[in-house]
Amino acid sequence: MRSTLLFASLATLATVLAMPASAQTKTAATTASSAGNAITASWTGPYGGVPAWDKVKVADFPAAFQAMMADAKAQFEAVLSSKAKPTFANTIAALQKDTLDARVSPIWGVYTSNLSSNDVRAIQREWGPKLSAFYNELTLDPRYFVRVKAVYDQRAKLKLDDKRMRLLTRTYEDLVANGAQLNPAQKQELIRIETSLAQEFSTFSNKVLADEEKYLTFTSEADLAGLPADLVATMKSAADERKVQGWVLVNTRSYVQPFLESSTRRDLRKTVFETFANRGDNGDVNDTNATIAKIVALRAERAKLLGFRTHADYRMRDTMAKTPAKAMELMMKVWPAAVARVHQEVADMQAIADEEAKAGSGPKITIEPWDYRFYAEKVRKAKYDLDQNELKPYFQLDKMVAAMFDAAGKLYGFKFTENTGAVPVFHPDVRTFEVTRGGKVVGLFYLDTWARTGKRSGAWMTTYKGQDHFNGNNYVLASNNNNFAKGSAGVPTLVSVDDASTLFHEFGHALHYLSYDITWPGLGTTPRDFVEYPSQVNENWLLTPYVLQTYARHYKTGEAIPQALVDKIEKSKTFNEGFDTVEYLSSAIVDMKLHNRAEPPTDIDAFERETLAEIGMPKEMVMRHRLPQFNHLFSSDAYSAGYYSYLWSETMDADTWAAFEETGNVWDPATAARFNKIVLSTGNETDRAEAYRAFRGRDPDVNALLRRRGFPIPAGGAAPAK
C-alpha cells in the first residue's frame, strides 16, 4: 500500500502565526545552524538531484526540522502578510511552491519506516507532536482563510481553467472541513487534539514494531518438520544475523505464512500463529489497546468539533464512496458469499483431517486458525494436484522483478536500467534503476527488498520526489519497499505466487506516479479509495501466459514452467478465495464500525470480539490485521475508516481488467494508452469517478468483482459502484 510520509497532514490544513514575531527573524540563524546538514542540503547529482543518503546523520534531524519549520513559516508569512488584493496567483499558486519539507520529509520517512532505531524513535516521540502542532497552527491562521475565501468568492469572474478552478475549490473546501471557520478557542482545541494524536500514532507504531522485532528460536531439527528447504535456509540466515544457535522465525508475515502452510508440527503452528496474531495484545509494555482507545476517542472528539457526526463521516468527505453507508453497502454485498465460501473451505479441510485420523496418519482434530493454511494446502493438492512448493522453484524473485519491468515496458513504454553505484542509497541492499520513456529519462526507482531489524512490516510504495510542472519537477524518485525473507548468500530467493503478486502490486503504485503529467502538486494526491486501484490493476499481468512463459523459469534448470502447471494455476484461481476475502474484509468492516459511531469504545479487545461475532466471523479465522497491530489505522489517519478502499478499488480493477480482456489481447496497446492517459497520468486534476467513466464509458460493474472471486452474482446482478 502507498505510504504517505508527512509529519502532519497538510490535507488536514492546519494556523499560527501565533508564533511570536521574534521567531520570524530566526530563519537565517536556523539555516546557519543546519549548515553541513545533509538532510536539509539541496539535492544534487542526476535526476534533478537525489538524497545524499550516505551523508545523513540521525542526530541532524532536530536541526533539520527547525529549518524546515522556519522555511514553511517564511513562505506562509510572505503570502499572508501581503497588502496586495488576494488573487489566484499570489495566494493559491504561491503556496504551491516547494519548501524544505519536500526534502526533509522523504528522508525522515525512510528513517521511521526502513531504518528505525532507538534514537530515531526518541526523536519521533519528541518531534511528532511538535511538527503536528506547528503545521496545524500554520494553516489555521485566520489570515490564510480570509485570503482563500476572497479568491473563492470571486471564482465566477476569474476565468480560471478547469485545473486552477479545481485547485481553488478543493483548497477552500478542505480548509472549511478542517476547521478554518472555528473560533480561536476551538482552533486551539483542534490543535491540542491533533498534537495528541501525533503522539499516540508514534506510540502505537513503535510498540508494534517492537513486537515485530521479536522472534522464535528453534534448536532441534524436529522443529523443522515439513518446512521447505528455502524457508529453513532463510531461518538459518536469520539466526546467523542475530548470532544465535539454531533457526530463527521472525515475527513478520513473510516468515510466518510459509511456516503455517508447511509445518507438520501442529503445536508449533499454534505457537507461531498466536505469537503473530497477538502482536500488540499481550498485556505488556508493548500492548497497544490503551493507545488505540485514546486514538479513537481523540478522533471522535475532533469529528464533533469539526461538525461531523463521526470520524468516518469526516474522513470520507473526499472519497469516491462519499459516505460510510456507501462503503458498507459494497462490503456487505460481498461478505455473505465470502463467509459461505469459508464454511465450504473448512468442510473440505475437515474432511481431509478426518480421513487422515481414520487412517492413522494424522491426529483427530477440529480445524483451528493455526490449521487453516496447512490444511488448505492439502485441499489444493487434492482438488487441483497443485502444491505451492511445486510452484516456488519457478518464481525466482529476480526474475519476477525483471518481469514487472518488462510488463511496464510493453504496456506503457517504460524502461528500467540498473545503476551500478552511481546513486547514494540508504542501505547496501537497496538497488536503483534509471527510468526512461521514449528515450527520455523520467525518474529513478529505488527497490528495498529485504526484511531487516528496524524496518516496519508489510510492503509499501512512496515517492521521494513527485512530478509537477509548476515547480519544474521533471523527474520522479519512487521507491518500493518489501519484506521478503533473505536467504543464504548466493542462493536465489524463491517467492510464492502471493509474494510475486505483492511485488507487482507495489510496483503498480510506482508506475502510477511515474506516469504523472500534472501541473499542480496540490492535485497530485488521489482519494484513498482510488489510490489502490492502479496497483491492483497491475497485479493482473503477473499470471499472463507471456510473463509465465518468459520469466517463470526453474531456478536450477532454467526450464519454463510446464503448461500443465500453468493450467493448474488457472483452474485454481478462485481457490481459497473465501479465506482471502474474509481475512481482508473482516478488517475493513471492523475498521468502519469502529469509526462510524459517535461514542467510541473503551475496551478495544471486547469491541473487536463483539463486532466479529455480530457479523458472523468464522471461528477458524482471524482478521488479516487485528486492531492491536493495525498500522493502517493507528500509525496515522491515512487508512482510518478507509480500509474498505481495497475492495472499492478492486471493483474498478476487476472491471478494468475486463476492458483489456474484451479486446482479445490483455496487452492491447490502445487500451493501455487510454488507461495511462485518462487515469494514470492525470493525478487528481480531474474527478476520479469522471476519469473512470471517461476510460470505461460507464461506472464500474460490481459483477466483475464477484465473478473474479468466484462468488455467485445476485439475481438481477449487483448495482454499479458509484
On whether the CB atoms of residues 620 and 368 are closer than 8 A, the answer is yes
In this structure, are strands 476-484 and 440-450 parallel, antiparallel, or unpaired? Answer: parallel
On whether the CB atoms of residues 58 and 119 are closer than 8 A, the answer is yes
Q: The cell 497588502 sits on which residue?
A: 83
- Report the candidate in 155, 177, 178 with the shortest Cα–Cα distance to residue 167: 155
On whether the CB atoms of residues 266 and 368 are closer than 8 A, the answer is no
Indicate which residues carry an active-site annotation. Answer: 506
Q: Is the confidence at residue 18, as pLDDT, over 80?
A: no
Q: Is the confidence at residue 546, as pLDDT, over 90?
A: yes
pLDDT at 34: 53
**Chain centre to alpha carbon of residue 477:** 17
Number of alpha carbons in the 13 Å side-chain half-sphere of residue 28: 2
Give pLDDT tens digits for 371-383.
Answer: 999 999 999 999 9
Give pLDDT tens digits for 575-588.
Answer: 999 999 999 999 99
CATH of 393-571, one of 2.40.30.10, 3.40.50.300, 1.10.1370.40, 2.30.42.10: 1.10.1370.40
Give pLDDT tens digits for 68-86.
Answer: 999 999 999 999 999 999 9
The CA-atom distances, in angstroms, between 703 and each of 57, 90, 433, 617, 713 are: 52, 48, 39, 24, 6
| Strand order, beta sheet including 460-465 | 414-418, 431-437, 440-450, 476-484, 460-465
| Between residues 136 and 485, the one the model is more confident about | 136
Q: Is 408 helix (H, G, I), strand (E, B) or coil?
A: helix
Cα angle 511-538-674, degrees, rounded to a multiple of 5 = 70
Q: Cα Rg for the chain, rounded, in angstroms? A: 26
Query: Read out DSSP for 304-365?
Result: HHTT-SSHHHHHGGGSSS-SHHHHHHHHHHHHHHHHHHHHHHHHHHHHHHHHHHHHTSS---
3-state SS, 14-34, equals: CCCCCCCHHHHHCHHHHHHHC
Q: Is the confidence at residue 16, as pLDDT, over 50?
A: no
Q: Is the confidence at residue 5, as pLDDT, over 60?
A: no
Mean pLDDT for the chain? Answer: 92
pLDDT at 715: 65
CA distance 316 to 309: 12
Give pLDDT tens digits for 512-545.
Answer: 999 999 999 999 999 999 999 999 999 999 999 9
Return the percentage of the chain with pLDDT > 70, whole number: 94
pLDDT at 662: 97
On whether the CB atoms of residues 396 and 493 are closer than 8 A, the answer is yes
Q: The cell 520522479 sits on which residue?
A: 476
- Report the candidate in 572, 627, 641 with the shortest Cα–Cα distance to residue 327: 641
Cα angle 704-709-714, degrees, rounded to a multiple of 5 = 60
Query: Read out DSSP for 377-399?
Result: HHHHHHHH---HHHHGGG-BHHH
Number of alpha carbons in the 13 Å side-chain half-sphere of residue 615: 28
On whether the CB atoms of residues 556 and 393 are closer than 8 A, the answer is yes
pLDDT at 12: 30
CATH architecture of 10-209: Orthogonal Bundle (1.10)
pLDDT band (50, 70, 90) for residue 504: very high
On whether the CB atoms of residues 227 and 234 are closer than 8 A, the answer is no
Give pLDDT tens digits for 239-284.
Answer: 999 999 999 999 999 899 999 999 999 999 999 999 999 999 999 9
- Residues in a beta bridge with 440: 437
Enumerate residues 6+ apart whose C-beta is below 8 A from 659: 671, 675, 695, 696
List the alpha helices (DSSP H) in 664-716.
669-675, 688-696, 702-709
pLDDT at 349: 98
Give pLDDT tens digits for 186-215.
Answer: 999 999 999 999 999 999 999 999 999 899
Q: Where in the chain is the domain with CATH 1.10.1370.40?
A: 10-209, 393-571
The x, y and z cell numbers of residue 300, run together, are 471522535
Q: Is the confidence at residue 31, as pLDDT, over 50?
A: no
pLDDT at 722: 52
Mean pLDDT, residues 219-238 taken together: 94
